[in-house]
Structure 1
Amino acid sequence: MPNVMTQDAVSLLKADHREAEDLFKKYETAKDAGKTAEKHEIARKVCAALLIHMEIEENIFYPAARGATGDDDKLNEAEVEHSGAKELIMQLGDLKPEDPMFDAKVKVLSEQIEHHVDEEENELFPEVEDSDLDLDDLGEQMADAKAALQEQHGM
């Protein structure tokens, strides 16, 4: 029986985008207030959320979108952007929050994600919504995968 609370694929991804934006804003507030432990926890949360988000996009959403739209250029670019974000996340994992480069890396990650979100929401998502892709079914698959990944990572 389908979960009546399941979002369609695009709505699920947009909700993830809003969550990341909110966490990045909270990070800036904690940074400005000199709350090192708090900003470290927020950075950990946003990085974990982004990694899960990217995994469901890459393994479920992008292949379906590629098949439905045939837009290899946008999807290839999105995957390259993910690669850059993952690299920054790995670098952040090697740093202490007191490191002078920590804030700079979080800021650049935030800017990269902002750019990526803008392109997805204004270019890719409208294409997908205009296709014949079953976004409700896809959203259910993505929600199930996201929940499993969150449980696997103790979130």
Structure 2
Amino acid sequence: MRTQTGKNKAIPKALATEPQPTDAITVLMEDHEHVKDLFEQFDGLGDRAMVSKKKLVDEICNELTKHTMVEEELFYPAVRSLGKEFEDDIDEAVVEHASAKQLIAQLLSMDAGDDLYDAKVTVLSEQIDHHVQEEEEQLFPKVRKSRLDLVALGRQMEERKQQIPDPAR
């Protein structure tokens, strides 16, 4: 078997081309990055781009809904089972989700030209940014050091996301 080298490490060629399993934290961080990109696209739209705004916000709401469901149904219970040292982080995250869900429901029932629409999108973006920062800087590093099988959990989470219908449809 031929190998590829890089930084003094030989990687078997067959292994270098095979996709690596995605772990739960990677799944969540990819979601975070995708939603951040969507919010940035929204910010770049002009005041008259009502159809584009509505379409983008519906996509943001769909992605956030799936993400929060997967976290609450699978990730948070798995992390909570690791012990009391994770309890406060998970409790705070669940409360943050509840607040985001309220804004999501409001946005899905609104038109892009409605009063406070853009303001609600901005507040949702700020809430999500805060939530993501706490997860990525505090929770995820602690979970990575735990005994949790993140690859198996990641598979479950990906499967569950595929089963969740888009709420905006």
Distance 1:69 1:17, change over 3 A: farther
Alignment of 1:3-152 (within 5 A): 6-30=21-45, 32=46, 34-70=48-84, 71-149=86-164, 152=165
Query: With CA pairs under 8 Å and 6+ residues apart, which has the higher RCO, 1 or 2?
Result: 1
State the percentage of identical aligned residues.
41
Q: What is the CA distance between 1:5 and its match in structure 2?
A: 5.8
- Cα distance in 2, alignment partners of residues 90 and 38 from structure 1: 19
Normalised by the length of structure 2, the TM-score is 0.84
Greater mean deviation of Cα atoms: 65-74 or 116-125: 65-74
Q: State the partner residue of 1:153.
A: 166
Task: Tell me, yes or no, if the aligned pair for 1:69 and 1:128 is still in contact at 8 Å.
Answer: no
Whose helix proportion is higher, 1 or 2? 1
Give me the CA root mean square deviation: 1.8
Task: Tell me, yes or no, if the aligned pair for 1:69 and 1:127 is still in contact at 8 Å.
Answer: no
- Cα distance in 1, alignment partners of residues 83 and 38 from structure 2: 31
The count of aligned residue pairs is 150
Report SS of the residue matched to 1:127.
helix
- Cα distance in 1, alignment partners of residues 152 and 82 from structure 2: 14
Q: What is the CA distance between 1:33 and its match in structure 2?
A: 5.6
- Listed as ranges, the gaps of 5+ residues in structure 1 are none
- Cα distance in 1, alignment partners of residues 65 and 149 from structure 2: 24
Normalised by the length of structure 1, the TM-score is 0.91
Whose strand proportion is higher, 1 or 2? 2
